[in-house]
Amino acid sequence: MALNLDLAGKEWEGPGRRWTSTDAILYALGVGAGAEDPLTELPFTTENSHDVSQQVLPTFAVMIGGTGGSMPPLGDFDIAQVLHAEQSITLHGALPPEGSTVTRSRVAAFYDKGPNAIAVLESTIMDAASGKVLAESSTGTFIRGEGGFGGDRGSAAAWERPAREPDHVVSYRTRPDQALLYRLSGDRNPLHSDPWLAEKAGFDRPILHGLCTFGFTGRALLHTACESDPEVFGTMSARFASPVFPGQELTVALWDEGDTWLFQTAVAGKVVLDRGTFTRRTV
């Protein structure tokens, strides 16, 4: 079995990532900020505009955790068999335009999905200087062909699409080169740039990073549910349901349920980001 099942429950701590103001801006551009109107999101896309203080998109949290230091690989499987299954982040406040982190990570579980497997990695991301917790994340990785080891199948949290029409609908068109731009923030998985690997994984051409779709959707939540204020952006979680190709239009449907927002992101009516849940942070 290629999975390193002995890692389950173990923890590692090590350097996360150091980032600059430019890195935060590059990430914002990579998830579409300012693409339709360069004047609308200047706090996230510039650092020296008149009377505009730089801010950081909350979903940049997925980029600042690093790899948990000395954590061994989850296994020796083919990278072409790996897909992002689900993601959640919890922010403890607005992220600074520059900084460095220390990350404590653990393999929370390996789930046996019959012929396939899901590995769940949980991380706590802390400011390297002060030790203050900046964010927490949970990442589910789908690994084709690595199931059948007799483990727990896992369970899904209850989620149901509301019967009414969405309270808000936000649409963003991605660029044909969106994946090439997004990968500059640090996710260099060649599945999103190399036609050879994309074909090997069963795709006609490279697909968009799931976390890029997550970032586009996070912008919709920030501007709709948080009045564009990163300080009140709390917890965002979703499951990746279908691949997105660069150049396609993302349509985010949002339902305001009071304390919680529900959301789905679709392309041409097909859900690509599902079971979305968002809660604001109390300041």
The CA-atom distances, in angstroms, between 81 and each of 15, 107, 201 are: 28, 19, 7
The SS3 of residue 9 is coil
Q: Which two tokens stand for residue 251?
A: 């349509």
Q: Which two tokens stand for residue 188?
A: 């260099």
Q: Is the dihedral of CA 218, 223, 228, 234 positive or negative?
A: negative
Quote the strand ranges of the chain, DSSP E.
Answer: 11-19, 82-91, 99-113, 116-127, 133-143, 168-173, 233-240, 249-256, 261-267, 270-280
Place of tokens 């900020």: 33
Distance (Å, rounded) from C-alpha 147 to C-alpha 88? 23
Q: Which DSSP state fits 205?
A: S
Residues with a catalytic annotation lie at 187, 192
Beta carbons within 8 Å of 5's beta carbon, 6+ residues apart: 110, 149, 151
Other Cβ atoms closer than 10 A to 95: 26
The SS3 of residue 196 is helix
- Give the DSSP per-residue string, 62-124: GGSSTT-SSPPPSBS--GGGEEEEEEEEEESSPPPSSEEEEEEEEEEEEEEETTEEEEEEEEE
